[in-house]
Amino acid sequence: MRRQLDAAAEQALVDQCRRQDYEAFGKIVDAFQSRIFGFVKRMLRNDEESADVTQEVFIKAFQSLSKFDGRSSLRTWLFRIAYNLCIDRVRRSERALDVASLDAMGTELEAFDLADSRWNPGALLDESDFLEVVDKAVLELSEKLRTVLLLHDKEDLGYEEIANVVNVPVGTVKSRLFLARAHLQKAVTKYVQTGGSI
């Protein structure tokens, strides 16, 4: 179960951490570690590497707490550190992330609405195959689109928070989220129309 901290509790913990209170920092780690690890794992797709980066996020956060000004929430700040470390890790390893061409999608994107979780489960012939299709579609997204999708749909961050994490305007966040969902919708529609074949 996710532990949530209100703004006052966050600020109190941050103040304690600035005085080198390791127990207070442990509470921050307890509150956010699983969410940060989940996000990093979806970005890097490697358990060991994700664990390393997650640890690095909290080390960097502890060392940088003097720079945390409270303009964003602690959660947003931690996700921003995680996002930047993931990007650095990918660049360092010279791994090319799969990129879905936005031009190839064309104007047909406007025709798609991503269905919600109230779909009729009977329409999906094999749940494991379906999840594989969705996972593959997420991997096909560019890093920019995948980041926004994961932060919004998996981590429940709002548009403003995501804009702070990835350092782009809110409008850009919305358009990236739209494009990411359109790509997923296309993959899901193809799966359903072919009777559940991958």
Helical H runs in the chain? 7-18, 22-44, 47-63, 74-93, 102-105, 127-140, 143-149, 159-166, 170-193
Tell me how far apart the terminal alpha carbons of the chain are, to the nearest angstrom.
Answer: 33
Domain positions in the chain: 7-93, 102-193
Do 7-93 and 102-193 agree at the fold level? no
Closest CA to 62 of 4, 31, 16: 16
Which of residues 161 and 131 earns the better pLDDT score?
161
The pLDDT assigned to 52 comes to 92
Inform me whether the pLDDT recorded for 169 exceeds 90: yes
CB of 185 closer than 8 Å to CB of 139: no
Which of residues 167 and 107 earns the better pLDDT score?
167
Vertex 67 angle, CA 87 and 61, to 5° = 50
pLDDT in tens, 96-106: 444 433 344 34
Quote the mean pLDDT of the chain.
Answer: 80
Sign, CA torsion 35/90/136/105: positive
**d(C-alpha 51, C-alpha 58), whole Å:** 11
In words, the CATH class of domain 102-193 is mainly alpha
pLDDT in tens, 137-168: 898 999 999 999 999 998 999 999 999 999 99
CB atoms within 10 A of CB 121: 9
User: How confident is residue 79, by pLDDT bands cut at 50, 70 and 90?
Assistant: very high
Question: Which one is the CATH code of 7-93: 3.90.1170.50, 3.40.50.2300, 3.10.290.10, 1.10.1740.10?
Answer: 1.10.1740.10
CB of 90 closer than 8 Å to CB of 44: yes
Stated pTM of the model: 0.68
Which of residues 126 and 181 earns the better pLDDT score?
181
The pLDDT assigned to 126 comes to 58
Tokens of 25: 């920092």
